[in-house]
Amino acid sequence: MTLLTFIGMILIPLVASPIVYLSGRLGTHETTLHRRSYLVRGLALLAILLAWIPFVLSMQTFLTGGIQEFNIEAIWLRVDGISLLAAAMILTLGTLVILFSGPYMAGEVGEEKYYAMLLAMIGLMIGLACSGDLFNLWIWFEGMAISSYLLVAFYREQAASLEAGMKYLVQSAIGSVMVLMGIALVLANAGTLDLSGIREAFSGSDVNRLTLLGAGALFIIGFGVKVAIVPLHTWLPDAHSQAPSGISAMLSGVVIEVGLIAMLRALSVLPGFSLSWGILFMAFGALNMLYGNLLALRQTVVKRMLAYSSLSHIGYILLGLGIALYSGMDLGAQGAFFHLFNHMLMKGLAFLSVGALIYGLFLQNDSHASLMVTDLAGTAQKYPMVALALSLAVLGLGGLPPLAGFMSKWQIFVAGFQTQNTWIIALMIFMALNSVLSLAYYAPLVNMMYRKSPSAQVLAGKRLSLAIALPLVIMMLAVIILGFAPQLMDWVTIPAAQTLITMFGK
């Protein structure tokens, strides 16, 4: 694999971003405005499809030749199991969201900005996941935060959207400053920011462990804002609920997960703390699961409910990672990375399904109202495919077999019991109870769609286009297939788990 081949999946979306924006600014008369909407959609879709080519080539080379590193001056990029898993998630959901957004965003003021920022965010996230040095990891992280902020506040004429965007911006900025302080501590003690060089510099016995612990705390708090670790999560429900539905899917499905990968990269250079990070991850995982579920129970706005449920699923992922770091078991990390991918699929499907209903019930009727739980009444009668998609998404998130969510939770569950540690086994039981608890707010959604008479909004709803329906069908099939055949993901989750264990020296 050459450097040019690898960075293609980063550069193609980044280079396409300004091209898409400029193409959307051509002409002013009404006919041109209508045509350029199709132009920006087509260019954005073409760019994301082209980015798949270097990804496939990079994956083939990795599977045959193992981990590789490249550098461009002071920028280090790393091809390993974790970076390629993240790239697969970002490209998968990004492709489906761009396809979905065609009719959903058609005619919106600033449509070209939407696609330009979405492509930029995709390229920046892939760069972040592949970063091999701390400073450029921070640069990618900042770029992702800025592009995602602009998308969260896309409906700038709405006060709630601006408030959500400002809350997201301020908290992200505070987190970024703390990450930068942690990087400064590492640089002052290691003399380098290359991840491999830092590990070598800290391998001696004369390292100030208190300083390293302080850097680790800054990394956990700084990146924890983006990951939505409780109590650093307060930006999440507003941002998810006020952003366009495609961006809600990206935020929940990949942005917070990429933030977690950045945290793991940063913590991995601090030797001797794997046990501590493992315990801390398991503690935060338990807190996220319970807190997210309890807050989701009381929500009446569907997107806010789904946003709070993301907290609980970050908890499951943290629990699996914590087991891996504490015990050195590959299965815990494999289950965590499998759930990372499944959460992208299921939460992406849930948000896009809700977006399809918002499009049919509100947007086509010139309204930007929020979708309430009561608005779902009888949707299965008019929108049977969307109702089925949302049902599979939330039941999969609830861990109902034989859907994908159950299989990844089961891997984490088995890994916990294999440690034969009483406290971890107790956590596994706690996890199982929380999975059941989540059905207390998922099941009523399904009941509302299938057993109630159609609401006034449903009766007045308009037809959905093929571009809206196609991503839902693809994701539905994936959720079902991975539930019956979870081994289909072994080719990427096993290398990711092995990479994590190697990074932390377990």
Q: Report whether 301 contacts 231 (CB < 8 A).
A: no
Q: Report whether 91 contacts 122 (CB < 8 A).
A: yes
Whether 497 is covered by a domain: the verdict is yes
| Separation of CA 442 from chain center | 20
Whether 12 is covered by a domain: the verdict is no
Q: Average pLDDT in the 340-356 region?
A: 94
Q: Extract the tokens encoding 77.
A: 């990029």
The tens digit of pLDDT for each residue in 128-164 reads 998 888 888 899 999 998 888 888 888 877 777 888 8
Whether 218 is covered by a domain: the verdict is no
pLDDT at 483 > cutoff 50: yes
Whether 426 is covered by a domain: the verdict is yes
Whether 339 is covered by a domain: the verdict is yes
> How confident is residue 29, by pLDDT bands cut at 50, 70 and 90?
very low
Q: Report whether 179 contacts 146 (CB < 8 A).
A: no
CA angle 162, 165, 168 (to 5 degrees): 150
The tens digit of pLDDT for each residue in 377-405 reads 889 888 899 999 999 999 999 988 889 99
The tens digit of pLDDT for each residue in 207-233 reads 777 888 888 899 999 999 889 898 888
Whether 156 is covered by a domain: the verdict is no
Whether 186 is covered by a domain: the verdict is no
> How confident is residue 202, by pLDDT bands cut at 50, 70 and 90?
confident
The tens digit of pLDDT for each residue in 33-51 reads 556 778 888 899 999 999 9
Alpha-carbon torsion angle 412, 414, 418, 421, nearest 10: 60
The parent domain of residue 343 ranges over: 273-506
How far apart CA 131 and CA 435 sit, in angstroms, is 34
Whether 127 is covered by a domain: the verdict is no
Please report how many Cα atoms fall inside a 13 Å half-sphere around the Cα of residue 14, on the Cβ side. Answer: 14
Helix, strand, coil tally for the chain in percent (to 5): 80, 5, 20
How far apart CA 248 and CA 252 sit, in angstroms, is 6
Q: How many domains does the chain have?
A: 1
Residue type (1 letter), 32: T
